[in-house]
Amino acid sequence: MSIFNKALASLGIGATKIDCRFSQPAFRVGEEVKGQAIVMGGAAEQKVDTIYLSLFTSYLRQSNNKEYEDHALIKQIKIAEPFTILENEIAAFPFTFTLPLWAPVTANGSHLWIKAGADIKNAMDPFDLDPLVTKPSTFMTELLNVILNEGFTLSHTSCVEAPDRYKKQQAFIQKFVFNPKSGHFGKTLNSLTIKFYAESSTVYELLIELDHKVNTLHPGEKGYDHESLFRVRVRMEDVCSFHRKFIQIIEQSS
């Protein structure tokens, strides 16, 4: 190993690189994520203090009538003790971690990514950014199917600042916005918004917002907007009763 190569490596030229590889294309929230961090030695031997994985998402926050995009660190894990990576050596470090239930589902607007990084003495720290594709938990899938089966289609999702009651656990909450495309709800609703808060794998709290179509009392009169807000707690064993409750909420608020 030449002194010149070592100097270049300290500047990031011909230095150690890292690549994160997942065991499958997508993972359900609440379940295990498995993969490997591949460390590729550069033109010089380098001492690596640690390898870590950081799970991030972005969310929207309102402040002083302005909207800002923030990044939220969901989880961080250490996957290697100090070691030395030799010149041009390739080393693999397997990892497994549980994806939190409150991690966002990556659908129609929401994003999630992993930063794989290494701390290297006296050198630029390499890192790798990889999108992580996630799917709803089994229970959330059942709840979403109740909504979709009533003629709603998913318009978009986004992560927004969490209400104060949830901020001890998470900075953000994911919302799903649906449009009524068929059925009798298309006559009364513009959109349906649901925010999912996971108390556990078998209990969800739903914040439901209904945006009703403008009502006109008499010809020539100006209509008015009508929005309704509801909070519903649902257990996995009560999915059938949630279907009835969901219909009841919409019909009674119209």
Cross-strand partners of 112: 57
122: domain range?
A: 3-135
Predicted pLDDT at 44: 81
The answer to which of 124-133, 208-217, 232-241 has the lowest mean pLDDT is 208-217
Examine the pLDDT at 164 and tell me if it is beyond 70: yes
What DSSP assignment string belongs to 124-174? Answer: PPPEEEEE--EE--HHHHHHHHHHHTTTEEEEEEEEEEPPGGGTTT-SEEE
The domain boundary, picked from 68, 100, 135, lies at 135
pLDDT digit string, tens, across residues 109-128: 899 999 998 888 755 667 78
Q: Do 27 and 48 have their domain in common?
A: yes
Pair of tokens at residue 86: 């030799």
Q: Do 142 and 130 have their domain in common?
A: no
pLDDT digit string, tens, across residues 141-159: 999 999 999 999 999 999 9
Q: Do 89 and 38 have their domain in common?
A: yes
Which amino acid is it at 202? Answer: T
Examine the pLDDT at 223 and tell me if it is beyond 80: no
Answer with the residue of higher pLDDT: 222 or 191. Answer: 191
Predicted pLDDT at 242: 94
The dihedrals phi and psi of 168, each to the nearest 5 degrees, come to -65, -30
Q: Do 112 and 153 have their domain in common?
A: no
Q: Do 20 and 51 have their domain in common?
A: yes
Mean pLDDT of the chain: 87
The domain boundary, picked from 135, 150, 184, lies at 135
Strands 224-235 and 203-215: antiparallel
Residues 42/87, Cβ–Cβ less than 8 Å? yes
Examine the pLDDT at 217 and tell me if it is beyond 80: no
pLDDT digit string, tens, across residues 64-118: 888 999 999 999 999 999 999 998 999 999 999 999 999 999 988 899 999 998 8
Contacts of residue 25, defined as CB under 8 A and 6 or more positions apart, other chains included, come to 133
Reading phi first (left if > 0) and then psi (alpha if -120 to 50, else beta), residue 181 is in alpha
Q: Do 142 and 47 have their domain in common?
A: no
Q: How confident is the model at residue 7 (pLDDT cuts 50, 70, 90)?
A: very low
What's the number of domains the chain is made of? 2
The answer to which of 9-18, 65-74, 167-176 has the lowest mean pLDDT is 9-18
In residues, how long is the chain? 254
Residue ranges with strand state E in the chain:
17-22, 27-28, 32-40, 46-63, 66-80, 83-85, 90-98, 112-120, 127-131, 134-135, 152-161, 172-180, 189-200, 203-215, 224-235
Predicted pLDDT at 204: 97
Pair of tokens at residue 16: 């150690």
